[in-house]
């Protein structure tokens, strides 16, 4: 099976490409390297192409003629989306429209799309199910929800088969230590905390301590990046076996507060560090926890790393290793 991976030089995409390489898939990565890194693409070819450049994208599709696309490429930072909404709508929505055009031109039949728990906004029920109301509270979440809508409408008109995966909080790194999360301005909690634990950031900020949660800090469902990538493999098998287009949550169904995560990072690293409180960030809901029963049942997803300690350990190992090598060290 020939697979085109957009955003395959980024955090999750690079773990996906590595897994696809391990399973002997033929892959081609398309990434504009706005966030991604060429060294992170451990399998197949990388083409530096922007999804907003339709002509270049179409050329790649007509040449490679993929059977399926896994679409990770997007702008992903909630606070930035609040400040620069047009950037998010342009990149995430128009990028997806261009991708669907190119898929149509090359006759590509299957799509797995990276969506997000941010489409639920402030959920009415915890854990949240796929059929629960969607009502994003930031432009990032809206850009993903609109992209979902475009994919559904296009599928209806064209026969494209899709799986939309709504990820909760993705964290951790390749257990073999070959790749991990790199960000020019890290906003993800576990990534920031391991950077503090390794002395790259002086202290840890906690945004908001007055949320309606058990300790006042935000609660999230952290899923290991490799388990998440395995869900994509299951989604591809499901589509190839004739499964109907559908939407699935991907998380472990267990929430940890910001303070609990920080405590775990202190435990695993053996480092105590300073924690400072700051006001809530715009666009952050109090709690997001997945009901992923549907992915387990229908996609036969079998997560292996449902363990916050393991997630933190792999993130920390990667941080220690990558901060020693100058090409990785971006802080
Ligand atoms: N990290 C999470 O916790 C999380 C949670 C929910 C959903 N997601 C989704 O997963 C996907 C991957 O996220 P990530 O955390 O790996 O982010 P990332 O920024 O590391 O990866 C995104 C990649 O897409 C590339 N890209 C962005 N715009 C592009 C464009 N116009 N053309 C070509 N390439 C482009 C970037 O260079 C980068 O390599 C995103 O779609 C994101 O919305 C992530």
DSSP 186-203: --SHHHHHHHHHTTSSSS
**Cβ-based burial of 14 (10 A; exposed 0-12, middle 13-18, buried ≥19):** buried
233 and 311 inside one domain: no
Q: Which two tokens stand for residue 97?
A: 């429209």
264 and 198 inside one domain: yes
Does position 327 have pLDDT exceeding 90, yes or no? no
Asked if residue 196 lies in contact with residue 273, where contact means CB atoms within 8 angstroms, the answer is yes
**Residues lining ligand 1, judged by CB closer than 6 Å?**
7, 9-13, 31-36, 50-52, 72-76, 91, 95, 114, 116, 167, 169-170
Task: Note the pLDDT tens digit of each residue in 212-264.
Answer: 999 999 999 999 999 999 999 999 999 999 999 999 999 999 999 999 999 99
Q: What is the pLDDT of residue 187?
A: 84
pLDDT grade for 284, boundaries at 50, 70 and 90: confident
Distance from Cα 55 to the centre of ligand 1, integer Å = 21
| Catalytic positions, written as ranges | 140
Asked if residue 219 lies in contact with residue 288, where contact means CB atoms within 8 angstroms, the answer is yes
302 and 319 inside one domain: yes
Does position 114 have pLDDT exceeding 80, yes or no? yes
Helix (H) or strand (E) holding 155: helix 139-158
96 and 241 inside one domain: yes
Query: How far apart, in Å, are the Cα atoms of 22 and each of 19, 27, 86, 114?
Result: 5, 11, 38, 21
Q: Answer yes or no: is 285 within a domain.
A: yes
32 and 77 inside one domain: yes
Q: Answer yes or no: is 184 within a domain.
A: no
Reference 148, options 31, 246, 288; nearest CA is: 246
14 and 138 inside one domain: yes
287 and 147 inside one domain: no
Q: How many CB atoms lie within 10 A of CB 136?
A: 23
Q: What is the pLDDT of residue 328?
A: 47
200 and 117 inside one domain: no
Q: What is the pLDDT of residue 173?
A: 98
Q: What is the CATH number of the domain that holds 211?
A: 3.90.25.10
Length of the chain: 331
Question: 3-state class of 116 per DSSP?
Answer: strand
263 and 155 inside one domain: no
How far is CA 85 from its chain centroid?
A: 19
Pocket probe mutation, ligand 1, options 8, 12, 47, 119, max atoms within 8 Å of Cβ: 12
Q: Answer yes or no: is 182 within a domain.
A: no
The per-residue pLDDT of the chain, averaged, comes to: 95
Q: Answer yes or no: is 178 within a domain.
A: no
If you average pLDDT over residues 18-46, what whole number do you get?
A: 97
Q: Answer yes or no: is 176 within a domain.
A: no
Domain count, the chain: 2
Asked if residue 8 lies in contact with residue 31, where contact means CB atoms within 8 angstroms, the answer is yes
Q: Which two tokens stand for residue 138?
A: 């930031």
The atom of ligand 1 lying closest to the CA of 167 is: 6
Task: Note the pLDDT tens digit of each residue in 65-112.
Answer: 999 999 999 999 988 999 999 999 999 999 999 999 999 999 999 999
Pocket probe mutation, ligand 1, options 60, 72, 79, 166, max atoms within 8 Å of Cβ: 72
- What is the Cα–Cα distance from 241 to 243, expressed in whole angstroms? 6
156 and 25 inside one domain: yes
Q: Answer yes or no: is 212 within a domain.
A: yes
Structure pTM?
Answer: 0.96
- What is the Cα–Cα distance from 137 to 120, expressed in whole angstroms? 8
Q: What percent of the chain has pLDDT over 90?
A: 92
- What is the Cα–Cα distance from 43 to 210, expressed in whole angstroms? 45
Question: 3-state class of 135 per DSSP?
Answer: coil
pLDDT grade for 331, boundaries at 50, 70 and 90: very low
Query: How far apart, in Å, are the Cα atoms of 270 and each of 199, 265, 267, 307, 319?
Result: 13, 8, 5, 18, 15
Q: What is the pLDDT of residue 323?
A: 79
Q: What is the pLDDT of residue 330?
A: 39
Task: Note the pLDDT tens digit of each residue in 289-320.
Answer: 999 999 999 999 999 999 999 999 999 999 99
- What is the Cα–Cα distance from 94 to 72, expressed in whole angstroms? 14
Q: Answer yes or no: is 180 within a domain.
A: no
Cis ω for the linkage preceding 127 (within 30 of 0):
yes
Q: What is the CATH number of the domain that holds 234?
A: 3.40.50.720
Q: Answer yes or no: is 330 within a domain.
A: no
116 and 234 inside one domain: yes
Q: How many CA atoms lie within 13 A of 259 on its CB side?
A: 11
DSSP tag of 90? I
The parent domain of residue 274 ranges over: 189-220+253-324
Distance from Cα 69 to the centre of ligand 1, integer Å = 14
Rg (CA), the chain: 19
- What is the Cα–Cα distance from 266 to 132, expressed in whole angstroms? 35
Does position 325 have pLDDT exceeding 90, yes or no? no
Does position 283 have pLDDT exceeding 80, yes or no? no
Distance from Cα 7 to the centre of ligand 1, integer Å = 6
59 and 129 inside one domain: yes
The atom of ligand 1 lying closest to the CA of 183 is: 20
Q: What percent of the chain has pLDDT over 70?
A: 98
């Amino acid at each position: 099976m020939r697979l085109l991976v957009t955003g395959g030089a980024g955090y999750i995409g690079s773990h996906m490409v590595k897994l696809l390489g391990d399973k002997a898939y033929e892959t081609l990565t398309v990434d504009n390297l706005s966030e991604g890194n060429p060294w992170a693409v451990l399998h197949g070819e990388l083409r530096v192409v922007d999804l907003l450049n339709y002509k270049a994208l179409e050329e790649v599709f007509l040449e490679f003629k993929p059977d399926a696309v896994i679409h990770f490429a997007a702008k992903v930072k909630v606070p930035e989306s609040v400040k620069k909404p047009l950037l998010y709508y342009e990149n995430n929505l128009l990028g997806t429209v261009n991708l669907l055009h190119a898929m149509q031109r090359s006759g590509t039949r299957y799509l797995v799309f990276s969506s997000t728990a941010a489409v639920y906004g402030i959920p009415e029920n915890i854990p949240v199910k796929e059929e629960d109301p969607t009502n994003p509270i930031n432009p990032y979440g809206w850009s993903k929800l609109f992209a979902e809508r475009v994919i559904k409408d296009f599928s209806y008109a064209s026969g494209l088969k899709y799986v939309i995966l709504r990820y909760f909080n993705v964290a951790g790194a390749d257990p073999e230590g070959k790749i991990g999360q790199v960000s020019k301005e890290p906003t993800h909690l576990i990534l920031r905390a391991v950077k503090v634990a390794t002395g790259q950031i002086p202290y840890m900020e906690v945004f908001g301590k007055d949320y309606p949660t058990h300790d006042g800090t935000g609660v999230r469902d952290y899923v290991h990046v490799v388990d998440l990538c395995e869900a994509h493999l299951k989604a591809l098998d499901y589509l190839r076996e004739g499964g109907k287009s559908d939407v699935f949550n991907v998380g472990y169904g267990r929430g940890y507060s910001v303070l609990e995560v920080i405590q775990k990072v202190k435990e695993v690293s053996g480092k105590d560090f300073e924690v400072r409180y700051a006001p809530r960030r715009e666009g952050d809901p109090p709690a997001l926890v997945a009901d992923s029963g549907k992915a387990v049942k229908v996609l036969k997803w079998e997560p292996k790393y449902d363990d916050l300690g393991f997630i933190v350990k792999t993130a920390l190992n990667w941080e220690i290793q990558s901060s020693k090598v100058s090409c990785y060290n971006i802080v």
